[in-house]
Structure 1
Amino acid sequence: MEEIDRDYALEEFEDSLSSVSTEMDEEDGGIGGPHKEESEDEEEDDDDDDDDDCDGDEMSSANASRNGLPKSLRRGDEPVDDESVEIMRQSRKNKALLHFRCRVEDAILGNYLLGGSPEKILSVDRRRQETYHSDAGKEPMRSISLWGIPLLPSAGHEGTDVVLLKFLKASDFKVSEAFHMLRSTLRWREENKVDGILDEKFPAEMEKLVYISGADLEGRPICYHAYGRALRDKDSYKRVFGSSQKCRQFFRWTVHFMERSVRRSLSLRPGGVDSMVHIMDLKNLQKSSMKEIRGVLKNNFVFLQDNYPELIHKHVMINVPFWYYTYHVLILRFIHQSNRDKFIFARPSRVTKTLLKFVAPQDLPVQYGGLKKENDNDFTQSDKVSETIVGKNSNKSIQIPVNETGVTVTWDLTVVKQDNITYKEEFVPEDECSYKILIRRMKKLEGSIRNSFYINEPGKIVISIDNPTYKKKRVYYRSKIRPTMYIFFKS
């Protein structure tokens, strides 16, 4: 057994040397290279231009050589048909999946998926006739599963290929690397008793630090890591990250949260939503102290990529202090190249604009410049949100006509990057002989606004927005009219 472990360790060591040499040959982009961030000088009318995302399934012809395409398609002597390249690319993926399925099938039936050597297994015919048990002798190895999905391909479960493709995609469709990653994940889960972690109890405060709220524009669940709440003062910090034991507890909670989220919020089935977006709020993060949280962040990124491959679509880091960029370069030494493009950064002044590229305004919480409020009794997610642009150094009025009486009008409004924006709200009656009613005098816009007004005569609500800056501003708003009945009591 020791000889087998040494062979495995040698193989792992050779793989690590290969990856290190590959990284040394690549150009390092410096602080601006490993992450994406928008320019401060970008015009607001470019808001709809999304960041270029690389999901791994789309590979340009320039990268064809490292993705297994024939030499005839790599030389560039003649134009290559995009359709032909796509066919070759898909063929390579299908072959890799078939090879991976066979290898996992043999490893499960041969009882060496968690360790051991295929040289010690029985013949193929006998393997398919007998039931093998794990080394612990507790359950048949053929029943091994991951996130509730059976891993034995011949079992015919529709989610098996989805899970196996996660490991293949994380390994650039290299079967040997994908197999080692799967084996390492299963060992890690066994050593840390992850399958029983959902039964463990954790402090209620942690539920407020990491939680799921809403979905992105593609329907992926959005997970918020609200570290800013634990970093607001020393007492809050000490309660969560004040010691190595507390950090281990928080890490354990993160594993618990991921297991719960994968099983409840994702659909590991063909065509289902099989990944999520993580938004990490680094507000109040200081350089001079709080070294524990920096270790938590590094461990969080590493364990997610190693044990939950391709389940995170993007890591969106918001309220990032400038010094953290340098620290993140050090973290990238532990991050696979395929995962580095998943990081997107936003400084405090660009949080709302960045998040709105992933989240609809009605799904974005108000603390991040959106319109979503917890336990909202006025609006639902299905209520229509309108959009308008206020030109640079100009003003614009948003009108909400109301032809009924005895109703209450409620409205929401937010402006993307609202520096120096002012607004005013008033009711303008339809009857010219009536007086205008000033609802809210001109004031500076700070965050999202919500207001309401009771209507006793036909007219319209007018919201005037003044933009003194030299950049266009994008405005999102919605309104709702509800019948209102007043009850008078005699004293």
Structure 2
Amino acid sequence: MDSSSPISVQKASPKPQPYRKSFVTSLMEAATLRTPSFKEDTYFISNLKSSEKKALQELKDKLGNESFSMWGIPLLSGDEKADVILLKFLRARDFKVSDSLHMLEKCLSWRKDFNADNILEEDLGFKELEGVVAYMHGYDKEGHPVCYNAYGVFKDKEMYERIFGDEEKLKKFLRWRVQVLERGIDMLHFKPGGINSIIQVTDLKDMPKRELRVASNQILSLFQDNYPEMVARKIFINVPWYFSVLYSMFSPFLTQRTKSKFVISKEGNVAETLFKFIKPEDIPVQYGGLSRPTDLQNGPPKPASEFTVKGGEKVNIQIEGIEAGATITWDIVVGGWELEYSAEFVPNGEGSYTIAVEKPRKIAASEEAIHNSFTSKEAGKMMLSVDNTASRKRKVAAYRYIVRKSAIISG
């Protein structure tokens, strides 16, 4: 991929009127922007306060000489991985040793009763929910594994009854949901300065709140009690208008540290929000990214170039240097599309005609990333155009491409 390809911009006239934020947008921003951004622990012992170092040693002393282990790491081994786990429990209880010990002992007991150490090996039979309801997918820009959650499918009553119809079904679902989280935990480093937590993205679109209240409360309780400091950031997307009101109500009961992990994005701003934390090639196509499930089977994703389409602008991406007989394959996406897109091939030769590869058409907001290819019969350049002149709203976008000729890859 060649990220240096020129991007030309044409502006519409007259200039669109300044975008004014709605009351709901302003309220949601106020709920989040007042909160300082979460700062993750480094887990370097040298960075701890003297009181925190003392608390760590006291916790070790209170554990005695028993051979406790968690995620395959002996807690009294004295190595840095064990310290990372113990510090998570201490941080969750503000370094109060007695409270931290109580939480740790309860967690160890729960893991034994739940058989959590062997859960990754189980086939719990939720194939229809894999990649839909809860799943690990890619990494954020800092290297944290990302867990996506979406419960909108349960608005279907038949689906809801099949998964949550009775207490036994609910228990099995909760076990599967823990299994998904354990997959993410299995990707962590558990070492100072390493990746020691995950990112959670929760899609609230069409989520049946009343029906899922019992399940969501139990999931929240399990995670809070047994996975302290395992989430670096909680991103809520497709947030309904009333969420800001609910947030203002329960906000006083949340710790400042918990609130600092929250990022709230209303419907229509999903891609713009996720692009801040996750590269577009790692974001699923249904959320405005370029990543499809099959992509992960082929190794690390190919990098993409990000760009912005301002209100009243038309952006042309020129991919030059395409030789005769070469095949160019490209992906392009605009967050919340609602603009016109086209692609054409412009030959270098005099007298040659421009080829309309994709005729101009308006792309709906709900449409996913475009994936296409073209084999040139003569040398030239590819022109991808996104026309936002009819809108005043700024939009984030990304593209990538690869050129192949005779099994030689360039671009």
Output the TM-score relative to the length of structure 2: 0.81
1:315 corresponds to 2:234 = yes
1:192 corresponds to 2:192 = no
**TM-align CA RMSD:** 3.1
Cα offset for 1:164? 1.1
Q: Distance in 1 between matches of 2:207 and 2:292?
A: 25
Q: Distance in 1 between matches of 2:86 and 2:379?
A: 62
Aligned 1:178-189 pairs, distance under 5 A: 178-189=100-111
| Corresponding residue number in structure 2 for 1:254 | 177
Moved more, 171-180 or 308-317: 171-180
Structure holding more strand per residue: 2
State the AA in 2 paired with 1:255.
V
1:242 corresponds to 2:165 = yes
90, 107, 111: which is aligned to 2:63?
107
Cα offset for 1:443? 0.9
Please tell me whether Structure 1 or Structure 2 has the larger radius of gyration of its CA atoms. 1
CA contact (8 A) 2:139 2:146 kept: yes
Q: Distance in 1 between matches of 2:191 and 2:33?
A: 33
Moved more, 409-418 or 354-363: 409-418
Change (3 A) 1:37 1:391: same
331, 352, 358: which is aligned to 2:271?
352
SS of equivalent to 2:130 = helix
Q: Distance in 1 between matches of 2:309 and 2:111?
A: 53
Q: Distance in 1 between matches of 2:314 and 2:29?
A: 38
425, 440, 455: which is aligned to 2:343?
425
CA contact (8 A) 2:150 2:207 kept: no
Q: Distance in 1 between matches of 2:169 and 2:250?
A: 22
Identity, % of aligned pairs?
37
CA contact (8 A) 1:414 1:449 kept: yes
Cα offset for 1:379? 8.5
Q: Distance in 2 between matches of 1:481 and 1:236?
A: 44
SS of equivalent to 2:258 = helix
SS of equivalent to 2:211 = helix
SS of equivalent to 2:314 = strand
State the AA in 1 paired with 2:271.
T
CA contact (8 A) 2:200 2:231 kept: yes
1:176 corresponds to 2:94 = no
Q: Distance in 2 between matches of 1:374 and 1:259?
A: 20
| Corresponding residue number in structure 2 for 1:150 | 74
Gaps of 5+ in 2: 1-26
Q: Distance in 1 between matches of 2:240 and 2:398?
A: 28
Q: Distance in 2 between matches of 1:260 and 1:383?
A: 24
Aligned 1:291-440 pairs, distance under 5 A: 291-326=210-245, 336-376=255-295, 381=300, 383-418=302-337, 420-440=338-358
Using CA pairs below 8 Å that are at least 6 residues apart, which structure has the higher relative contact order?
2
52, 65, 72: which is aligned to 1:96?
52
Q: Distance in 2 between matches of 1:99 and 1:384?
A: 44
Per-residue Cα deviation, 1:325-372 (whole angstroms, up to 9, x for no partner): 555667668755532332222222011111111110111111111011
CA contact (8 A) 1:430 1:458 kept: yes
1:442 corresponds to 2:365 = no
SS of equivalent to 1:270 = coil
Q: Distance in 1 between matches of 2:29 and 2:309?
A: 33
Q: Distance in 2 between matches of 1:103 and 1:376?
A: 44
Change (3 A) 1:389 1:351: closer
Cα offset for 1:37? 7.4
CA contact (8 A) 1:427 1:436 kept: yes
1:473 corresponds to 2:368 = no
Number of equivalenced pairs:
373
